[in-house]
Amino acid sequence: MSTVQSIDPATGQIVEKIEPTTPEQVAELCRVASDAAAGLEALGRSGRAVLLRAVSDELEARREEIVELGRRETALPEARLNGELTRTAYQARLFAEVLDDGGYLEAAVDHAGDTPMGPGPDLRRMLVPTGPVAVFGASNFPLAFSVPGGDTVSALAAGCPVVVKAHSSHPALSRLTYEALVAAAGRAGAPAGTVGIVYGTEAGAALVADPAITAVGFTGSLSGGNALMEIIGRREVPIPFFGELASLNPVVVTEGAAAARPAEIAEGLVTSVTGSGGQLCTKPGLVFVPAGDAGDAVVSTAVERVGGAAAAVLLNARISTSYDAIADELSAQPGVRVIAEGGQPGGDGFGVTPRLLEVDAEQLAAVGIGECFGPTTVLVRYRADDESATVRALAGLPPSLTGTVHSGPGETELVRRLTAALRPRAGRLLYDGWPTGVLVSWAQHHGGPWPSTNTQHTSVGTTAIRRWLRPVTWQNAPVDVLPEELRDETRSVPRRIDGRLELPV
Amino acid sequence: MSTVQSIDPATGQIVEKIEPTTPEQVAELCRVASDAAAGLEALGRSGRAVLLRAVSDELEARREEIVELGRRETALPEARLNGELTRTAYQARLFAEVLDDGGYLEAAVDHAGDTPMGPGPDLRRMLVPTGPVAVFGASNFPLAFSVPGGDTVSALAAGCPVVVKAHSSHPALSRLTYEALVAAAGRAGAPAGTVGIVYGTEAGAALVADPAITAVGFTGSLSGGNALMEIIGRREVPIPFFGELASLNPVVVTEGAAAARPAEIAEGLVTSVTGSGGQLCTKPGLVFVPAGDAGDAVVSTAVERVGGAAAAVLLNARISTSYDAIADELSAQPGVRVIAEGGQPGGDGFGVTPRLLEVDAEQLAAVGIGECFGPTTVLVRYRADDESATVRALAGLPPSLTGTVHSGPGETELVRRLTAALRPRAGRLLYDGWPTGVLVSWAQHHGGPWPSTNTQHTSVGTTAIRRWLRPVTWQNAPVDVLPEELRDETRSVPRRIDGRLELPV
């Protein structure tokens, strides 16, 4: 097992070396997490809300140190890291609200009584935590999808101890934020083992294979996800794998949109493609722009903006090398035109050149465009007078997290048809906006058909908690063994009573 | 591909021969199901409620014919088949109520506004159908988990076309009930392809592999489930497999319960074990009975009842052969005592002898008891004064659909501790009752940790619909492209508005 070593992407200098976690240490961490499960659940909704608010406070209290270390290990701008910390701290408080609300329990009570099948028993259902879960940190969101972030706080909210696999690109930041979580758990009276951390690829594999782990949350590459799914496939007990993997995020700019606001669309697009070095799972990777004058106006502004864009520093050597390789390969395909290039990188870090590519819709199928993580996108020039060809092209794309339509005045029916074409292949549909920037909220959904995710669950938004819960029904249970939320006198959470939804009093 | 042939389990006579569906026919059925998806969804909640009520009516209208054919293909008693039809017809109407209610959509609206992360967009989330699904009929519930039944009606309610793999034990009944579904779909104006059917093992495999299929519902054996999961593992796009597989359903009879009502417990147990020939997934397969006088009283009545039980006719040759083999193997294990045997079967059908087995708790781990489908159970004699040993024994069992405690007066704390031991390994907890007989209702849950099921979902009860749905969020969508349930003026379904749950008006 090799040392986990992080490198400053801007300079190529080593930032930190951390010893990998041994298989024995992983097993012990999982055992401790298992032991913590009952105590974490026993804190109850109010106790875990205290824990989540403590997580928020601890992250805020260490903001300066976290952002500074994050800057060195990721080269992401200070403003971005500050925004990410704000988002994660907010998210922890939002899940505290989810716990206060209690609707996530899906509590239901059917009182005993006659049914068409004879006398029915008293049945009471709610969701309970599945047990310890594994969370894999992502390189591109060192604070929002890593040791702290949506997976961790939603799992803690559910009542599941979390063992995080630290991403090898930012092990020091992982350790620092892990310490913040441990401090918060201590302050909130959560049991030891509520959060754990492992370092190194082998440790991650051992974690997923450990019998104590009941589910896996992962944000990363399709190949990484497939490797974990293979390990799960070899487990005696299969467990759910919630992977957020690859996404192309198609955008359709209609003729009306291109005619109405070409510069605005081009500028929004380039900002969305180059922000955070294009290293966002929702980056628009394929943009249908109409052939002809209106579309040309969009393209010319986009060319100008990408041409003026500075070189981007990517997160690690693998991402930077892979970006150059995929972008080169794409550029070399017959029919693909490189229509703009941004600044050339200098120095010894992981710098790359932003690129804008173009292809005619007729050749799209032959080119076969997949995700290219980094500051590039492909403009697909399509014939606005051949809508069925566009719909066919959309149907031929791999499913994505998002699908976007930019339209102009009087195009309602067209937008409806494009929505129908996009919905089967996306989890979030956007109109006249850009898919990057995923708000953490109650109505958010971040998950599309495979390979973007596993379809039925989200990794962003309050319903992300559902991944770490399972239903249990108590039949004719004495009141003393029932969870508080299922007792008759309780009115603190929304409940379905004999089929009728009732709000808390 | 061999002909699918059903045999009367009571006589061994052939009832029906049906040609297996070819791979080409399976592909065509899946294509037609795909084409039906948009139309089935477009029926809307009210249109699909009409469809489900028509399903209920059609099954009721053909009750006599269905029960008569079912009797010949399954040898289940007429009363049982009538009850099952009633249950399935009721279930279809219950899912119509689920549609009327609309809470299953999990509709949520977050209006645009300021957030700690800056201005937030308008986000609107609800669940949409995943697309065509495959349902595998089970041999032991020819009307409730087969062509008609919980999987089919919950999927139709969700808006998913269903292609059923007919169970080879009752192909004629499958065809007859399929015709009822087709008639109902026609009456309700549902598109052609809303329901399809395939016959034969190879056709089932082709069905699960077909790219149009988005999820699989299966009730059957662990080996059958594993075979289907292997096929899914080879798909380009993985899909959820909702399997209801093997379950031991442990029961703990406390010292207090045994002392208070030995005969009642013994009689309830034997009824639960021998009903429907013991061919129920919730049959209690392992019963902890205290050693000593109180437990002896339970055992002696149970011995008497099993000794007086008639031979059972099982559903097919495989189940009957497997029952004899597993029961023989169990009986031969060191420490296992055969303490009662029921009547011997006569004739040429699939008759078997009910058996009651006994083992001391100290030897349970060495014996390693798995599910034995059929009229047998194992009494585990345990020392009531060594509670920790009992808790350890429970923790060593494979997870189940259910866990049951029978207790006596003044044992509240004991019941609480037994509940804590059982809950991690079961999806339904019962008190002073028997796990067979699973009510279809709002608060029901039928699913435990693997291998009993996939843990997070149920195959009985109104929330079974969740298996066939996925979330979609619309961001800044023009009102004209929004589903009716997400428009501001709609108040027909429960919705979470800016984080606050609101009831329909």
pLDDT at A347: 80
% of chain B at pLDDT higher than 90: 95
| Residue B367: band (very low, low, confident or very high) from pLDDT cuts 50, 70, 90 | confident
Backbone angles phi, psi at A232, to 5 degrees: -60, -40
Helices (H), A188-316: 201-209, 222-233, 255-260, 262-274, 293-307
Q: Which residue of A has its CA nearest to B429?
A: A474
Helices (H) and strands (E) in chain B, counts: 15, 23
* Residue whose tokens read 């006569």: B346
Tell me whether residues B473 and A101 touch, CB distance under 8 A: no
pLDDT at residue number B348: 85
Half-sphere exposure of A456 (CA within 13 A, CB side): 21
* pLDDT attached to residue A192: 96
| B372 in catalytic set | no
pLDDT band for position B17 (50/70/90)?
A: very high
For the cut 80, the answer to whether the pLDDT of residue B1 exceeds it is no
Question: CA angle at residue B457 from B454 to B463, to 5 degrees?
Answer: 165
| Chain segment A459-486, per-residue pLDDT in tens | 999 999 999 999 999 999 999 999 999 9
Cβ(B322)–Cβ(B224) below 8 Å: no
Average pLDDT, chain A: 96
Catalytic residue selected from B160, B281, B341, B358: B281
> What is the arithmetic mean of pLDDT over B255-283?
97
Q: Which of A117, A431, A458 sits opposite B478 (nearest CB)?
A: A431
ipTM of the complex in this document: 0.97
Largest CA distance in chain B: 78
Q: If you measure CA to CA, which chain A residue comes closest to B418?
A: A481
Model pLDDT, residue B390 = 96
Give the C-alpha separation, A411 to A254, whole Å.
Answer: 9
Mean pLDDT to the nearest integer, B212-225 = 95
Beta partners for residue B5, in sequence order: B17
Subunit contact A472:B117, Cβ cutoff 8 A: no
What pLDDT is stored for residue B247 in this prediction? 95
* Residue A35: pLDDT over 90: yes
- In A369-464 the beta strands, taken as DSSP E runs, fall at 376-382, 400-406, 426-431
The predicted pLDDT at position A28 comes to: 98
With cut-offs at 50, 70 and 90, classify the pLDDT of residue A428: very high
**Which among A181, A190, A203, A247 has a CA at the least distance from the CA of A401?**
A247
The nearest CA of chain B is from the CA of A169 a distance in Å of 25
Using a cut of 0.90, tell me whether the model's pTM lies above it.
Answer: yes
Tokens of A405: 């339509």
- A118/chain B closest Cα distance in angstroms: 9
Cβ neighbours of B38 in A, within 8 Å: 420
What would the mean pLDDT of A212-229 be, rounded to a whole number? Answer: 95
Identify the CA nearest to B199 among candidates B155, B140, B113, B136: B136
Q: CB distance A125–B474 less than 8 Å? A: no
State the pLDDT at residue B2: 85
Answer whether residue B347 shows pLDDT above 90: no
Above 90 in pLDDT, residue B172?
A: yes
Cα A283 to Cα A306: distance, rounded to the nearest angstrom: 15
Q: Which among B90, B445, B470 has the least Cβ separation from residue A473? A: B445
Summary mean pLDDT of chain B: 96
pLDDT band at A434 (very low <50, low <70, confident <90, very high): very high
CA distance B292 to chain A (A): 27
Shortest distance between the Cα of B253 and any Cα of chain A, in A, equals 15
pLDDT at position B80 is 95
Contact at 8 Å (CB) between A341 and A306? yes
pLDDT of A370 above 90? no
pLDDT of residue B454: 83
- pLDDT reported for residue A369: 87
Q: Would you state the pLDDT for residue B369?
A: 87
pLDDT band with cut points at 50, 70 and 90 for residue B141: very high
By CA distance, what is A125's nearest residue in B? Answer: B443
Q: How confident is the model at residue B425 (pLDDT cuts 50, 70, 90)?
A: very high
Q: How far is CA A48 from the centre of its chain?
A: 23
Between CA B181 and CA B147 the distance in angstroms is 9
Check residue A2 and give its pLDDT.
85
pLDDT, tens digit (0-9, with 9 covering 90-100), for A401-424? 999 999 999 999 999 999 999 999
**pLDDT surpasses 90 at A455:** no
Q: How far apart are CA A432 and CA A224, in angstroms?
A: 33
Q: How confident is the model at residue A238 (pLDDT cuts 50, 70, 90)?
A: confident
Would you state the pLDDT for residue B239? 93
What is the rounded CA–CA span in Å between residue B364 and residue B367?
A: 5
pLDDT (mean) for B10-37 = 97
Say if CB A324 and CB A352 are below 8 A apart.
Answer: yes
- Distance, in Å, from the CA atom of A415 to the CA atom of A421, rounded to the nearest integer, reads 10
Q: Which of A441, A457, A474 sits opposite B110 (nearest CB)?
A: A441
Q: How many whole angstroms separate alpha carbon B452 and alpha carbon A113?
A: 28
Q: pLDDT tens digits for B124-137? A: 999 999 999 999 99
The span from the CA of A28 to the CA of A459, in Å, is 28
CB B198 within 8 A of CB B135: no
SS3 for B496? strand
Mean pLDDT for the stretch of residues B466-477: 98
Residue A496: list chain B partners with CB under 8 A.
Answer: 103, 442-443
Tokens of B159: 């808006």
> With 90 as the cut, is the pLDDT of residue A454 above it?
no
For residue B403, list its beta bridge partners. Answer: B429
Which residues share a beta bridge with A118? A115
pLDDT at A1: 72
Beta pairing class for A469-475 and A495-497: unpaired
Q: Does pLDDT of A368 surpass 90?
A: no
**Tens of pLDDT along A6-34?**
999 999 999 999 999 999 999 999 999 99
Interface test with chain A among B81, B125, B463, by most A beta carbons within 10 Å: B125
Cβ within 8 Å, pair A443-B123 = yes
- Using only the alpha carbons of chain A, give its radius of gyration: 24
pLDDT(B370) > 90: no
A281 among known catalytic residues: yes
